[in-house]
Amino acid sequence: MLSVDFYRRDATEVAHDLVGATLLCDGVGGVIVEAEGYRCDDPACHAYRGMTPRNRVLFGPPGRTYVYFSYGMHNLLNVVAEPDGQAGAVLIRALEPTHGVELMQERRCMDDLRNLCSGPAKLTQALGIDLNDNDRSLWNGRFEIRAPSNGDDVEVLVGPRVGISAAKEWPWRFCLSGSSYLSRPIR
DNA sequence: TGTATGATCGCCT
DNA sequence: GGCGATCATACAG
Residues in chain A: 187
Residue A173, CB, less than 7 Å from strand B? Answer: no
Cβ burial of A121 (10 Å; 0-12, 13-18, 19+) is: middle
Contacts of A47 (CB under 8 A, 6+ apart): A38, A40, A55, A58, A59, A87, A88, A89
pLDDT of A117 > 90? The answer is yes
Q: Which residue is nearest to nucleotide C7 (CA to C1')?
A: A72
Say if CB A76 and CB A124 are below 8 A apart: yes
**Rounded to an integer, what distance in angstroms lies between the CA atom of residue A61 and that of residue A72?**
28
Residue A68, CB, less than 7 Å from strand C? Answer: yes
**CA atom of A80 to C1′ atom of B3, Å:** 31
pLDDT at A144: 98
pLDDT digits (tens, 9 = 90+) for A2-33: 999 999 999 999 999 999 999 999 999 999 99
**CA atom of A103 to C1′ atom of B2, Å:** 42
pLDDT digits (tens, 9 = 90+) for A75-110: 999 999 999 999 999 999 999 999 999 999 999 999
A118 phi/psi in degrees, rounded to 5: -90, 55
**Rounded to an integer, what distance in angstroms lies between the CA atom of residue A13 and that of residue A64?**
17
**CA atom of A42 to C1′ atom of C13, Å:** 29
pLDDT of A72 > 70? The answer is yes
pLDDT of A151 > 80? The answer is no
pTM of the model: 0.97
Nucleotides of B under 7 A from a protein CB: 5-10
Residue A59, CB, less than 7 Å from strand C? Answer: no
pLDDT at A4: 98
